[in-house]
Amino acid sequence: MADEETSQPPAEPTAPVEPATAPEAAPSEPVQTTPPETPTAQIPASEPLPPEPEPIAPTPAPEPQQAASASAPASTSSPQATHPARDLLVKARATIQDRKHKKLEKILEALNTKGKITNDEVEKLLHVSDATATRYLSALEKEGKIQQVGKTGKAVEYTRI
């Protein structure tokens, strides 16, 4: 019977199993409270987005007075004066086109002196990439100023028409 007594006490530790279920309830509570306590960088879908500030409009007060007192041609010149960025872009495009035109003239001068020119020679002459040299030579070919001799690769040369 002593063996039975020793076998019964291990049966008693099953009672502490019940407190083990209590810790299960404890982790579920922090799981429920953790998300609201932890702030995130994302805005929940239920919250509305903050309003965007309205852009500040330039004060057009002087222009309507001029337009009212001036004739129609004067009002057509005022939009050009109100867009200095557009004027700057137009000037920049003109400068770029001027540089390109000068580079194309250099290619034509080299063709006059040598009689023929290759893509590699244009790259070295103008300090440009292979694609840019090809673009310049294609533009001159479309204008009818030069002619391509050869189809592809190193055999391609350009001569003046």
Question: pLDDT tens across 70-121, in order?
Answer: 444 444 444 445 688 999 999 999 999 999 999 999 999 999 999 999 999 9
How far are the Cα atoms of 4, 45, 74, 106, 127 from residue 109, in angstroms, in the given order?
115, 67, 46, 5, 16
Task: Select the more confidently predicted residue: 85 or 23.
Answer: 85
Mean pLDDT, the chain, rounded, equals 73
Radius of gyration over alpha carbons of the chain, in Å? 41
CATH architecture of 90-160: Orthogonal Bundle (1.10)
Q: What distance in Å separates the CA atoms of residue 56 and residue 100, rounded to the nearest whole number?
A: 39
pLDDT at res. 49: 65
List the alpha helices (DSSP H) in the chain: 2-11, 17-37, 62-69, 72-81, 84-114, 119-126, 130-143
pLDDT at res. 95: 96
pLDDT at res. 102: 95
